[in-house]
Amino acid sequence: MDEVQKKIENEVISLKGTQKEYQKAISTRQQLDAQLNENKVVKEELNLLSDDRKVYKAIGPALIKMEIIEAKQNVAKRIDYINNEVKRFDDMILNLEKKQDSHREALQKLQQEKMKATIKT
């Protein structure tokens, strides 16, 4: 019976660890969503400007002049990168959900084993 109890405790620890990873992944995914929306707004704003307009990028305390075409390219690259990260985190979240489900199933089986052992004694 002690062996089953130890297995249950280990499974609970594993489940809690997976849940922490899951929450962290969800939080990061939300941050990526915010960054993606922000960059989409910047892209829309840049598209409203004509190619002869001046654009400045804040780098530390300084504003650096930048060609509008270069700014559009930078924003497009950032959006692509963030989209890839969103996809990666979506996959990670899906895998962590499956992992949590398998931990829960294992816990349920172990608890049933414990109940059977308790009834036999």
Percent of the residues in the chain that have a pLDDT greater than 70, as a whole number: 98
Task: Take residue 105 and report the two structure tokens written for it.
Answer: 């199933």
The three-point CA angle 41-44-47 to 5° equals: 150
The total of structural domains in the chain comes to 1
Model confidence pTM above 0.85: no
Q: Give me the domain span that covers residue 67.
A: 2-120
Residue 1's SS3 state is coil
Could you give the CA distance from residue 42 to residue 77 in angstroms, rounded to a whole number? 13
| Cβ atoms < 10 Å from Cβ of 119 | 7
Q: Is 60 left (phi over 0), alpha (psi -120 to 50) or beta?
A: left
CATH number at residue 20: 1.10.287.370
Residues 87-104 have pLDDT tens digits of: 999 999 999 999 999 999
Could you give the CA distance from residue 15 to residue 100 in angstroms, rounded to a whole number? 6
Percent of the residues in the chain that have a pLDDT greater than 90, as a whole number: 82
